[in-house]
Amino acid sequence: MGSDVDNMMTFLRQHGNQRFCSTCLAFELTLSFQGVDSALATVGQQAALTESRGHCAICGRRALVTGCESNGNNGSPEERVLRLVLDHVGRFFCHACVARRLELNIGTVQKAVWGLRASSEVRIDDTACSGCGRSQFVLGGVLPQDVRKAIVTVLLTVANVLRR
Ligand SMILES: [Zn+2]
Ligand SMILES: [Zn+2]
């Protein structure tokens, strides 16, 4: 199993920013589909992988394709996950929904969430996902302390005005 992961990592690294479908990855690395999935999830925790719909570099078919994340303009997976939840404060997303929205591999999302768990801007909860509705471990953004304080101040002011 360890060597399947190593082989997958080596293969994806060697092919830079090319993306591949699971059928071709299974064939190239002589793995079962399940083997490809679990190897990709493990590799994704070690290296940032992107997963999106696109054309496979080998067979050319349009499918869900995976490759190394080209760490360019988008920021690190952690930054992107944080930006997503802060853009949707009040909503919660499971790992699968975060992965789909950000076009990231599930392992890469898990690692990013793990890295964010201590952040005061993020809340991890066990409730229904705002994306798929399933109840599971979800991640949501929390407004920064000063923003919350400002909102409370405004509400108190409004309440005082109304009372007069
Ligand atoms: Zn393919
Ligand atoms: Zn979900």
Looking at per-residue pLDDT, the higher value among 129 and 152 belongs to 129
pTM of the model: 0.83
Ligand located closest to 55 CA = 1
Contact indicator for 138, 74 with CB cutoff of 8 Å: no
- The ligand placed nearest to the CA atom of residue 101 is 2
The predicted structure's pLDDT at residue 2: 67
Burial class for 139, CB neighbours closer than 10 Å (0-12, 13-18, 19+) = buried
Ion ligand 1 — residues with CB under 5 Å?
21, 24, 56, 58-59
**Domains of the chain (ranges plus CATH)?**
2-68 (1.10.10), 77-146 (1.10.10.10)
Which tens digit of pLDDT belongs to each residue from 82-139? 999 999 999 999 999 999 999 999 999 999 999 998 888 899 999 999 999 998 889 9
Distance (angstroms) between ligand 1 centre and the Cα of 62 equals: 8
Mean pLDDT over 35-43 rounds to 96
Q: Is the pLDDT of residue 1 over 60?
A: no
47 vs 13: CA distance, rounded Å: 9
Residue for token pair 């407004």: 143
CA of 84 to the centre of ligand 1 (A): 30
pLDDT exceeds cutoff 70 at 164 = yes
